[in-house]
Amino acid sequence: MSPTRSRQAELLLDVRNHTGECPVWNAATQSLYWVDIPANQLNSYRLSDQTLQQWNAPEMLACITRSAVEGQWIAGAQTGVFRATAGPTGRLDFTSIAPVEHAMAGMRFNDGRCDRQGRFLAGTMLMDMPAAAPVGAIYRLGADGALEKLLDGFVTPNGMAFSPDGRTMYLSDSHPSVRRVWRYAYDVERGIPCNPTPFLDMDQFAGRPDGAAMDTDGCYWICGIDAGLVHRYTPQGRHDFSIKVPVAKPTMCAFGGADLRTLYITSIRPANAADTDPAGGLFAIHLHDIQGFPESACSTH
Protein backbone atom coordinates (compact mmCIF):
# COMPACT_ATOMS: atom_id res chain seq x y z
CA MET A 1 0.00 0.00 0.00
CA SER A 2 1.51 3.31 -1.08
CA PRO A 3 -0.69 6.25 -0.08
CA THR A 4 -0.46 9.22 -2.43
CA ARG A 5 -0.92 11.54 0.53
CA SER A 6 -0.29 11.16 4.25
CA ARG A 7 -2.27 13.06 6.86
CA GLN A 8 -2.54 12.83 10.64
CA ALA A 9 -5.66 13.12 12.80
CA GLU A 10 -5.26 14.80 16.18
CA LEU A 11 -6.81 14.07 19.56
CA LEU A 12 -9.85 16.26 20.12
CA LEU A 13 -11.23 14.77 23.34
CA ASP A 14 -9.53 12.33 25.71
CA VAL A 15 -12.84 10.67 26.63
CA ARG A 16 -11.43 7.13 27.02
CA ASN A 17 -14.47 5.36 25.60
CA HIS A 18 -14.50 1.60 25.96
CA THR A 19 -15.88 1.30 22.42
CA GLY A 20 -16.60 4.68 20.89
CA GLU A 21 -18.78 4.27 17.78
CA CYS A 22 -21.25 5.81 15.36
CA PRO A 23 -20.35 9.53 15.26
CA VAL A 24 -23.20 11.61 13.80
CA TRP A 25 -23.07 15.34 13.09
CA ASN A 26 -26.09 17.45 14.09
CA ALA A 27 -26.02 20.66 12.06
CA ALA A 28 -28.90 22.21 14.04
CA THR A 29 -26.83 22.31 17.23
CA GLN A 30 -23.38 22.19 15.60
CA SER A 31 -22.62 19.20 17.75
CA LEU A 32 -21.18 15.74 17.25
CA TYR A 33 -22.97 12.79 18.85
CA TRP A 34 -21.56 9.28 19.30
CA VAL A 35 -22.00 6.22 21.51
CA ASP A 36 -19.86 4.15 23.86
CA ILE A 37 -21.37 0.70 23.38
CA PRO A 38 -20.47 -1.28 26.54
CA ALA A 39 -20.90 1.83 28.70
CA ASN A 40 -24.56 2.19 27.53
CA GLN A 41 -23.76 5.83 26.84
CA LEU A 42 -24.59 8.61 24.40
CA ASN A 43 -22.06 11.45 24.12
CA SER A 44 -22.23 14.88 22.53
CA TYR A 45 -19.61 17.54 21.91
CA ARG A 46 -20.77 21.08 21.06
CA LEU A 47 -18.22 23.05 19.08
CA SER A 48 -19.32 26.55 20.10
CA ASP A 49 -18.35 26.16 23.75
CA GLN A 50 -16.47 22.83 23.64
CA THR A 51 -19.04 21.26 25.97
CA LEU A 52 -19.11 17.50 26.48
CA GLN A 53 -22.41 15.94 27.61
CA GLN A 54 -23.17 12.31 28.38
CA TRP A 55 -26.40 10.36 28.87
CA ASN A 56 -26.86 6.82 30.17
CA ALA A 57 -29.10 4.36 28.33
CA PRO A 58 -30.87 1.35 29.90
CA GLU A 59 -29.01 -1.11 27.65
CA MET A 60 -26.13 -1.28 25.16
CA LEU A 61 -26.43 1.47 22.58
CA ALA A 62 -24.75 0.51 19.31
CA CYS A 63 -25.80 2.91 16.54
CA ILE A 64 -27.82 6.11 16.27
CA THR A 65 -29.38 8.26 13.61
CA ARG A 66 -31.16 11.58 13.87
CA SER A 67 -34.94 11.46 14.02
CA ALA A 68 -37.08 13.74 11.89
CA VAL A 69 -38.48 14.88 15.24
CA GLU A 70 -36.07 17.46 16.65
CA GLY A 71 -34.39 16.36 19.87
CA GLN A 72 -34.99 12.66 19.29
CA TRP A 73 -32.75 9.87 18.06
CA ILE A 74 -33.42 6.46 16.57
CA ALA A 75 -31.13 3.90 18.18
CA GLY A 76 -30.17 0.32 17.40
CA ALA A 77 -29.49 -1.20 20.79
CA GLN A 78 -29.24 -4.63 22.39
CA THR A 79 -32.85 -5.81 22.19
CA GLY A 80 -34.25 -3.77 19.33
CA VAL A 81 -34.73 -0.32 17.83
CA PHE A 82 -35.72 2.50 20.16
CA ARG A 83 -36.69 6.15 20.11
CA ALA A 84 -34.23 7.93 22.39
CA THR A 85 -34.53 11.37 23.97
CA ALA A 86 -31.65 12.96 25.85
CA GLY A 87 -33.09 14.31 29.08
CA PRO A 88 -31.69 17.02 31.37
CA THR A 89 -30.74 14.58 34.14
CA GLY A 90 -28.13 12.59 32.24
CA ARG A 91 -30.55 9.79 31.46
CA LEU A 92 -31.50 8.70 27.95
CA ASP A 93 -35.24 8.04 27.75
CA PHE A 94 -35.93 4.91 25.67
CA THR A 95 -39.22 4.10 23.95
CA SER A 96 -39.38 0.82 22.05
CA ILE A 97 -40.19 1.03 18.35
CA ALA A 98 -39.43 -2.53 17.28
CA PRO A 99 -37.98 -5.48 19.22
CA VAL A 100 -35.64 -7.75 17.26
CA GLU A 101 -35.76 -11.55 17.16
CA HIS A 102 -32.07 -12.40 17.29
CA ALA A 103 -30.86 -15.66 15.76
CA MET A 104 -29.42 -16.68 19.13
CA ALA A 105 -28.75 -15.37 22.62
CA GLY A 106 -25.91 -12.92 23.23
CA MET A 107 -26.50 -10.68 20.20
CA ARG A 108 -26.96 -6.94 19.74
CA PHE A 109 -27.22 -4.37 16.99
CA ASN A 110 -23.93 -3.02 15.66
CA ASP A 111 -23.48 -0.62 12.73
CA GLY A 112 -26.38 1.25 11.13
CA ARG A 113 -27.57 4.45 9.46
CA CYS A 114 -30.32 5.92 7.28
CA ASP A 115 -30.44 5.64 3.51
CA ARG A 116 -30.88 8.82 1.47
CA GLN A 117 -34.66 8.48 1.75
CA GLY A 118 -34.61 8.37 5.57
CA ARG A 119 -35.08 4.63 6.10
CA PHE A 120 -33.07 3.23 9.02
CA LEU A 121 -30.97 0.11 8.29
CA ALA A 122 -28.81 -1.66 10.87
CA GLY A 123 -26.98 -4.94 11.36
CA THR A 124 -26.80 -7.39 14.25
CA MET A 125 -23.89 -9.46 15.54
CA LEU A 126 -23.01 -12.07 18.15
CA MET A 127 -21.03 -10.39 20.93
CA ASP A 128 -18.83 -13.49 21.34
CA MET A 129 -16.39 -12.52 18.59
CA PRO A 130 -14.12 -15.62 18.91
CA ALA A 131 -17.13 -17.80 18.04
CA ALA A 132 -17.07 -16.31 14.50
CA ALA A 133 -20.73 -17.27 14.05
CA PRO A 134 -22.33 -15.97 10.80
CA VAL A 135 -25.64 -15.20 12.50
CA GLY A 136 -25.66 -11.43 11.89
CA ALA A 137 -28.35 -9.87 9.73
CA ILE A 138 -29.29 -6.52 8.20
CA TYR A 139 -32.71 -5.12 9.10
CA ARG A 140 -34.72 -2.17 7.80
CA LEU A 141 -37.13 -0.22 9.97
CA GLY A 142 -40.36 0.14 8.02
CA ALA A 143 -42.81 3.03 7.97
CA ASP A 144 -45.13 0.86 10.09
CA GLY A 145 -42.48 0.60 12.81
CA ALA A 146 -41.67 -3.06 12.11
CA LEU A 147 -38.28 -4.56 11.35
CA GLU A 148 -37.76 -6.46 8.10
CA LYS A 149 -34.75 -8.72 7.60
CA LEU A 150 -33.03 -7.86 4.30
CA LEU A 151 -29.73 -9.80 4.41
CA ASP A 152 -28.12 -12.41 6.64
CA GLY A 153 -25.04 -14.60 6.99
CA PHE A 154 -22.70 -11.95 8.44
CA VAL A 155 -20.34 -12.37 11.37
CA THR A 156 -19.83 -8.68 12.15
CA PRO A 157 -21.74 -6.48 9.68
CA ASN A 158 -20.20 -3.04 9.53
CA GLY A 159 -19.12 -0.22 7.23
CA MET A 160 -22.58 0.71 5.96
CA ALA A 161 -22.67 3.77 3.68
CA PHE A 162 -24.70 5.07 0.76
CA SER A 163 -23.45 6.74 -2.41
CA PRO A 164 -24.42 10.40 -2.94
CA ASP A 165 -27.28 9.41 -5.26
CA GLY A 166 -28.39 6.69 -2.85
CA ARG A 167 -28.32 3.95 -5.49
CA THR A 168 -25.31 2.09 -4.09
CA MET A 169 -25.01 0.65 -0.59
CA TYR A 170 -21.63 -0.35 0.82
CA LEU A 171 -21.36 -2.96 3.55
CA SER A 172 -18.45 -4.71 5.24
CA ASP A 173 -17.89 -7.67 7.50
CA SER A 174 -15.16 -6.60 9.89
CA HIS A 175 -14.58 -9.96 11.56
CA PRO A 176 -10.94 -11.14 11.25
CA SER A 177 -12.15 -14.25 9.43
CA VAL A 178 -13.86 -12.19 6.68
CA ARG A 179 -12.38 -8.65 6.19
CA ARG A 180 -14.40 -7.81 3.06
CA VAL A 181 -16.44 -4.90 1.72
CA TRP A 182 -19.26 -5.36 -0.80
CA ARG A 183 -21.15 -2.98 -3.02
CA TYR A 184 -24.91 -3.49 -3.48
CA ALA A 185 -27.28 -2.05 -6.03
CA TYR A 186 -29.85 -0.23 -3.89
CA ASP A 187 -33.49 0.06 -4.88
CA VAL A 188 -34.30 3.59 -3.69
CA GLU A 189 -38.05 3.09 -4.19
CA ARG A 190 -38.33 -0.02 -2.00
CA GLY A 191 -35.24 0.32 0.19
CA ILE A 192 -33.79 -3.06 -0.78
CA PRO A 193 -30.10 -3.88 -1.43
CA CYS A 194 -29.45 -6.50 -4.11
CA ASN A 195 -26.80 -7.88 -6.49
CA PRO A 196 -23.75 -7.69 -4.19
CA THR A 197 -20.36 -7.42 -5.86
CA PRO A 198 -16.91 -7.46 -4.19
CA PHE A 199 -15.58 -3.95 -3.57
CA LEU A 200 -12.58 -4.37 -1.25
CA ASP A 201 -10.53 -7.31 -0.07
CA MET A 202 -9.04 -5.83 3.08
CA ASP A 203 -6.42 -8.56 3.25
CA GLN A 204 -4.63 -6.31 0.76
CA PHE A 205 -4.72 -3.29 3.08
CA ALA A 206 -3.83 -2.54 6.68
CA GLY A 207 -6.53 -3.09 9.27
CA ARG A 208 -9.99 -4.63 9.36
CA PRO A 209 -12.91 -2.72 7.75
CA ASP A 210 -14.89 -1.09 10.56
CA GLY A 211 -17.21 1.96 10.39
CA ALA A 212 -17.50 4.08 7.25
CA ALA A 213 -18.45 7.45 5.80
CA MET A 214 -19.07 8.89 2.33
CA ASP A 215 -17.90 12.19 0.83
CA THR A 216 -19.44 14.34 -1.90
CA ASP A 217 -17.06 12.87 -4.49
CA GLY A 218 -18.61 9.45 -3.86
CA CYS A 219 -15.45 8.20 -2.16
CA TYR A 220 -15.80 5.61 0.57
CA TRP A 221 -13.98 6.12 3.88
CA ILE A 222 -13.39 3.07 6.08
CA CYS A 223 -11.62 2.78 9.43
CA GLY A 224 -8.79 0.26 9.38
CA ILE A 225 -9.15 -1.01 12.93
CA ASP A 226 -6.00 -2.55 14.43
CA ALA A 227 -3.87 -0.49 12.00
CA GLY A 228 -4.48 3.07 13.25
CA LEU A 229 -5.64 4.21 9.81
CA VAL A 230 -8.68 5.55 7.97
CA HIS A 231 -8.61 4.72 4.25
CA ARG A 232 -10.25 6.59 1.37
CA TYR A 233 -11.30 4.64 -1.73
CA THR A 234 -12.66 5.96 -5.01
CA PRO A 235 -15.99 4.62 -6.36
CA GLN A 236 -13.90 2.30 -8.57
CA GLY A 237 -12.28 0.74 -5.48
CA ARG A 238 -8.89 2.42 -5.93
CA HIS A 239 -7.07 3.32 -2.72
CA ASP A 240 -6.54 7.09 -2.72
CA PHE A 241 -4.82 7.82 0.60
CA SER A 242 -4.98 7.10 4.32
CA ILE A 243 -5.37 9.20 7.45
CA LYS A 244 -3.10 8.24 10.34
CA VAL A 245 -4.73 8.02 13.78
CA PRO A 246 -2.43 7.89 16.83
CA VAL A 247 -4.22 4.83 18.28
CA ALA A 248 -4.48 1.27 16.98
CA LYS A 249 -8.26 0.92 16.95
CA PRO A 250 -10.17 3.68 15.14
CA THR A 251 -13.77 2.48 14.80
CA MET A 252 -15.89 4.85 12.71
CA CYS A 253 -15.62 8.22 11.03
CA ALA A 254 -18.08 10.98 10.11
CA PHE A 255 -17.94 14.37 8.45
CA GLY A 256 -19.01 17.41 10.43
CA GLY A 257 -18.21 20.98 11.32
CA ALA A 258 -19.81 24.10 9.88
CA ASP A 259 -18.42 23.34 6.41
CA LEU A 260 -18.64 19.51 6.70
CA ARG A 261 -14.92 19.30 6.01
CA THR A 262 -13.84 17.93 9.41
CA LEU A 263 -13.52 14.18 9.74
CA TYR A 264 -14.29 12.96 13.26
CA ILE A 265 -13.04 9.52 14.32
CA THR A 266 -14.06 7.42 17.32
CA SER A 267 -11.92 4.67 18.84
CA ILE A 268 -11.63 1.73 21.25
CA ARG A 269 -9.65 1.74 24.48
CA PRO A 270 -8.14 -1.72 25.17
CA ALA A 271 -8.22 -2.94 28.77
CA ASN A 272 -4.41 -2.94 28.94
CA ALA A 273 -3.95 0.61 27.58
CA ALA A 274 -1.32 2.69 29.35
CA ASP A 275 -2.50 5.74 31.27
CA THR A 276 -0.81 8.01 28.73
CA ASP A 277 -2.43 6.23 25.77
CA PRO A 278 -5.19 8.35 24.13
CA ALA A 279 -7.00 5.19 22.95
CA GLY A 280 -10.76 5.54 23.31
CA GLY A 281 -10.51 9.22 22.45
CA LEU A 282 -12.29 11.28 19.82
CA PHE A 283 -9.99 12.40 16.99
CA ALA A 284 -10.42 14.95 14.22
CA ILE A 285 -8.78 16.30 11.09
CA HIS A 286 -9.87 19.22 8.91
CA LEU A 287 -9.79 18.34 5.21
CA HIS A 288 -9.78 21.56 3.22
CA ASP A 289 -10.21 19.87 -0.15
CA ILE A 290 -12.82 17.22 0.78
CA GLN A 291 -16.38 17.63 1.99
CA GLY A 292 -19.03 15.35 3.43
CA PHE A 293 -22.76 15.91 3.41
CA PRO A 294 -25.46 15.75 6.09
CA GLU A 295 -26.72 12.30 7.02
CA SER A 296 -30.44 11.80 6.39
CA ALA A 297 -32.79 11.94 9.37
CA CYS A 298 -35.00 8.93 10.02
CA SER A 299 -38.45 9.41 8.54
CA THR A 300 -40.07 6.84 10.87
CA HIS A 301 -41.63 8.63 13.84
Q: Is residue 292 part of a domain?
A: no
Write out the DSSP string of the chain.
---S-EEE-EEEE----SBEEEEEEETTTTEEEEEETTTTEEEEEETTTTEEEEEE-SS-EEEEEEBSSTTEEEEEESSEEEEEEE-TTSBEEEEEEEE---SSSSEEEEEEEE-TTS-EEEEEEES-GGG----EEEEEE-TTS-EEEEEEEESSEEEEEE-TTS-EEEEEE-STTT-EEEEEEEETTTTEEEEEEEEEEGGGSSSEEEEEEEBTT--EEEEEETTTEEEEE-TTS-EEEEEE-SSS-EEEEEEESTTS-EEEEEEB--TT--TT--TT-EEEEE-TT--B-PPPPB---
Q: The domain containing residue 176 runs over which residues?
A: 6-286
Q: pLDDT tens, 150-199? A: 999 999 999 999 999 999 999 999 999 999 999 999 999 999 999 999 99
* Residue 2 predicted with pLDDT over 80: no
- CATH number of 129's domain: 2.120.10.30
Q: Is residue 295 part of a domain?
A: no
Q: What's the number of domains the chain is made of?
A: 1
Percent of the residues in the chain that have a pLDDT greater than 70, as a whole number: 98
Write out the DSSP string of 239-269.
EEEEEE-SSS-EEEEEEESTTS-EEEEEEB-
* Residue 129 predicted with pLDDT over 70: yes
pTM of the model: 0.95
Q: Is residue 220 part of a domain?
A: yes
> What's the mean per-residue pLDDT of the chain?
94
Q: pLDDT tens, 99-114? A: 999 999 999 999 999 9
Q: pLDDT tens, 53-86? A: 999 999 999 999 999 888 899 999 999 999 999 8
Q: pLDDT tens, 85-98? A: 988 888 999 999 99
Instruction: Taking residues 119-130, report their average pLDDT.
Output: 97
Q: How far apart are CA 3 and CA 224, in angstroms?
A: 14
Indicate which residues carry an active-site annotation: 210
Question: Given this model, what pLDDT does residue 294 score?
Answer: 87
